Chains A and B, each alone.
Chain A
Amino acid sequence: MTTKSFGDRLDLDVLAAMKRPSGLFWVALTVSSLMFITGLACWGVQIARGMGVAGITHPVGWGVYITNFVFWVGIAHSGTLISAVLFLFRARFRSSFNRSAEAMTVIAVLTAGLFPLIHLGRTWFFYWLFPYPNQRQLWANFRSPLEWDVWAVTTYLTISAIFFFVGLIPDLAIVRQHATGLRKKVYSALSLGWKGTSKQWSHYAKLYMFLAAFATPLVISVHSVVSWDFAMSVIPGWHTTIFAPYFVAGAIFSGTAMVMTLVIPMRKILGLEKYITVDHFERLAKVMLFTSLIVSFSYAVEWAMAYYSGNPYETFHFSFRLLGDYRYFYWMMVLCNSILPLLVFFKKFRSNLKLLFVLSIFVNIGMWLERFVIIVTSLARDYDPNNWGNYYPSLIEVGITVGSFGMFFTFFLIFTKVLPVLSVTEVKEQQS
């Protein structure tokens, strides 16, 4: 088989995925769009009637919205890990996932970025988060971790989008080659007139390497900044120095699970089994297992330190997590994040894609619950017993949460039809 014939075959297989959508696609798109619209409607109700429609109140001022924010930013991190970090480590197995993972990153960051706006209440004042000269002579509070978040997430969205688009340029040229009519013109414009000359490739290779080098510290820093939203406070369960690496590991953990949740069915439905193999998923599962162990270590260290110190506030707090009003969430979290992923140690398990898919769903649930448990239990029980109170999400909050999942899956489904789901150029380069 010549390189050309392999390339032609690969092009056709990947572009076949972008052809006329099937019935199953329309059903999936309808369901996810309805979820998205539900979320938007709930947000509309909240803007019209005020934040009182949400369940957050004294003392739990942060609830499901911030849980969703951290969850979606975390999902995004895995995409950057797969595309940038694994590129720098020259891990060959990444090329089967990296396009889908990069798309997942951009969509997840967009979804996450909505939540600070939703949580603002007076969403129309969102621009106050940015520093601009104004008559009030006020600048943004750069000492606040919430302001750091604005910069971190904006940077992350920008760099992820640039990285995603740069990786797409040669692939868009391939789509252009096979398109006709208006589609050809659109993809031609999107591919910027890419020709694949020697100089273009030389500059491109260096650009990709630098973008990967810039994106790598983003993987660490953005979720560290998000974790510092909590760690910069003083309440038990939040004020702890390990939060930065703990959250970063958790982010990669949940992100790899989401990649599996998306790519396992996508591979089957789009007929890409030749290019995305079981071996690729096994390697991804090992990354997931490694990060699961780091998360479990963090749970253990937090526990150990609470009892080591003998500090009554810390020991009470961790007892509350284990045995208090939110104990079922905590147990579910430990089951999904620490115990079930241990099954990946067994080859029979990790080479079974159906089981990996089911595990990935549990991990997604577990990681959402982890953020919920961290946020809500610490706020519900802080230093002063007179200040204690429980939190229960309202229907509006549930609706917006469902809407965020709807937004994510809607955009991802659209991505599978509009852009190539595999990094065609990189697969060709590897095969040669």
Chain B
Amino acid sequence: MKKSMLAGIASVLIVFALNLTLKSDTDASFLVVLLVFNAFAQGIIALAAAAQISEGNWLSPIGNKLLSMWWLQLLTPFLFVAHAMNLAPYPWTEHPPNAWMTEGLFVARNVGVLLLTAGLAWLLRRSTLKKSSNTTRIAIFYALAFVLSQTLVAMDWLMSFEYPWLSTMFAPLQFVEALFLSTGLAAVIASVFVQKGDKRFLPTQVDAATLFLGFSLFWGGLFYAQFLTIWYGNIPEEVAPLARRAMVSPMRELGILSIVTMFPIPFIGLIPATPKRTPAAVRLFFALAVFGFVLQKIVILMPVATLNPIILIVSGLALTTTLVLAVGDALAVESPMPNPQEHH
């Protein structure tokens, strides 16, 4: 068994231990880490699926490498169960408002969809290795499952902390963020080879960095659309949750920092051609985006939950180690290189 898989299993055990011992009835620390992990675990396969569906061979040098990390999605249902062992932090648990927002159904539907997505990720991986004619069909099913899963992540895991506040844009923001971070990771993976001198990966690095820039802009646009609608409508029930985050320190400053690191900095920084071709630049903007993403989730959760630094740091380190080791193992996986004339 690979080191990364062992690390994954160990991480799950550590997370269970932390949630059983240290998690209080208002704590949401592990959720921050879970959101980041899930975004990568599902997003990298979604990226590979999108490349398959659109017949773009820009991703082919690293496509198999990304697909080899499908097994990360097997950890997510367990990690979610660890989080869901104590749902007291959610405000709707005490008096479920309707049949949909009940603890049993909450856990069942999320675990079910996570398993479905993991199963389709495995099928996609297997079908790609076999070069099966069904690969595109499976990729389409995975994409649909990914959207469904990320919608539940947005609505159930995160948005319901502010129940009954809702934003229909929350779900698109969630899966766009997952794709955004995954394109950054794809660019970073390609940059490892570029740095070693293998210029065959340079077009992939540049293309992934361009997509990363595009998703950064797309995310910025969606975020602005959500903000504008709430700001303009000025409905007290909608504005209050936003005001709790945008008008009170330190959330206000952290919130601005998270937006700036996810949109203007990567977007403006990656417009010129040179940074897209430079491994260090690509990694810097990716790191800033991940930092911004983590901050954003903290800002969303801070007014409505407590954050235990021990759970945050220990589970964060455990799952980051798993992810880094998984990427390390993936780097060794063979991927077909496109014919230079066929690039695009």
Stretch of A66-74, A303-311, A407-415, A424-432 with 4 or more beta carbons under 8 angstroms from chain B: A303-311
Check A231 for interface membership: any CB of B closer than 8 A.
Answer: yes
Tell me how far the C-beta of A86 lies from the nearest C-beta in chain B, rounded to whole angstroms.
11
Check B241 for interface membership: any CB of A closer than 8 A.
Answer: no
On whether the beta carbons of B98 and A224 are closer than 8 Å, the reply is no
Stretch of A239-247, A262-270, A397-405 with 4 or more beta carbons under 8 angstroms from chain B: A239-247
A400 and B288 alpha carbons, distance in the complex (Å):
53
With known contacts A307-B98, A308-B101, A310-B97, A245–B172 Cβ distance under 8 A: yes
On whether the beta carbons of B229 and A243 are closer than 8 Å, the reply is yes
On whether the beta carbons of B100 and A307 are closer than 8 Å, the reply is yes
- The 0/1 profile, CB within 8 Å of A marked 1, for residues 33-61 of chain B is 00000000000000000000000000000
Contacts of B243 in A (CB 8 A): none
On whether the beta carbons of A297 and B229 are closer than 8 Å, the reply is no
Tell me how far the C-beta of A405 lies from the nearest C-beta in chain B, rounded to whole angstroms.
31
Partner of B235, one of A239, A297, A302, A309: A239
Q: What's the dominant secondary structure at chain B's contact region?
A: helix
A245 and B226 alpha carbons, distance in the complex (Å):
11
Check B151 for interface membership: any CB of A closer than 8 A.
Answer: yes
On whether the beta carbons of A240 and B164 are closer than 8 Å, the reply is no
With known contacts A242-B168, A302-B168, A308–B225 Cβ distance under 8 A: no
- The 0/1 profile, CB within 8 Å of B marked 1, for residues 221-235 of chain A is 100100010011110
With known contacts A244-B225, A310-B97, A305–B233 Cβ distance under 8 A: no
- Chain B interface residue count, CB cutoff 8 Å, equals 30
With known contacts A90-B344, A224-B221, A304-B155, A231–B229 Cβ distance under 8 A: yes
Q: Which of A207-233 contact B (CB under 8 A)?
A: 217, 220-221, 224, 228, 231-233
- The 0/1 profile, CB within 8 Å of A marked 1, for residues 73-115 of chain B is 0000000000000000000000001101100000000000000
Contacts of B170 in A (CB 8 A): 241
Check A120 for interface membership: any CB of B closer than 8 A.
Answer: no
A308 and B228 alpha carbons, distance in the complex (Å):
23
Check A301 for interface membership: any CB of B closer than 8 A.
Answer: yes
Tell me how far the C-beta of A236 lies from the nearest C-beta in chain B, rounded to whole angstroms.
11
Check B171 for interface membership: any CB of A closer than 8 A.
Answer: yes
Name the residue among A90, A233, A244 with the largest chain B CB count within 10 angstroms.
A244
On whether the beta carbons of B168 and A310 are closer than 8 Å, the reply is no
A266 and B124 alpha carbons, distance in the complex (Å):
40
- The 0/1 profile, CB within 8 Å of B marked 1, for residues 289-301 of chain A is 0000100011001
On whether the beta carbons of B168 and A220 are closer than 8 Å, the reply is no
A268 and B230 alpha carbons, distance in the complex (Å):
49
Q: Which of A300-330 contact B (CB under 8 A)?
A: 301-302, 304-305, 307-311
Check B167 for interface membership: any CB of A closer than 8 A.
Answer: yes
Name the residue among B144, B170, B171 with the largest chain A CB count within 10 angstroms.
B171
Contacts of A293 in B (CB 8 A): 144
Tell me how far the C-beta of B165 lies from the nearest C-beta in chain A, rounded to whole angstroms.
8
Tell me how far the C-beta of A225 lies from the nearest C-beta in chain B, rounded to whole angstroms.
10
Tell me how far the C-beta of A90 lies from the nearest C-beta in chain B, rounded to whole angstroms.
5
Tell me how far the C-beta of A141 lies from the nearest C-beta in chain B, rounded to whole angstroms.
13
Q: Which of B152-193 contact A (CB under 8 A)?
A: 155, 164, 166-172
On whether the beta carbons of A242 and B164 are closer than 8 Å, the reply is no
Contacts of B97 in A (CB 8 A): 310
Partner of B169, one of A232, A242, A297, A304: A242
Tell me how far the C-beta of A319 lies from the nearest C-beta in chain B, rounded to whole angstroms.
15
Check B294 for interface membership: any CB of A closer than 8 A.
Answer: no
Partner of B225, one of A241, A297, A309: A241
Please give me the 4 A-B residue pairs with the lowest Cβ-Cβ distance, nearest first. Answer: A241-B169, A242-B168, A244-B225, A241-B226
| 6 examples of A-B residue contacts, CB within 8 angstroms | A220-B218, A232-B229, A242-B172, A245-B172, A309-B166, A310-B98
Extra pairs beyond A239-B233, A244-B225 (15, CB < 8 Å): A221-B221, A224-B221, A224-B225, A228-B225, A233-B233, A239-B229, A242-B168, A242-B172, A243-B229, A244-B169, A245-B222, A304-B155, A309-B164, A310-B97, A311-B164
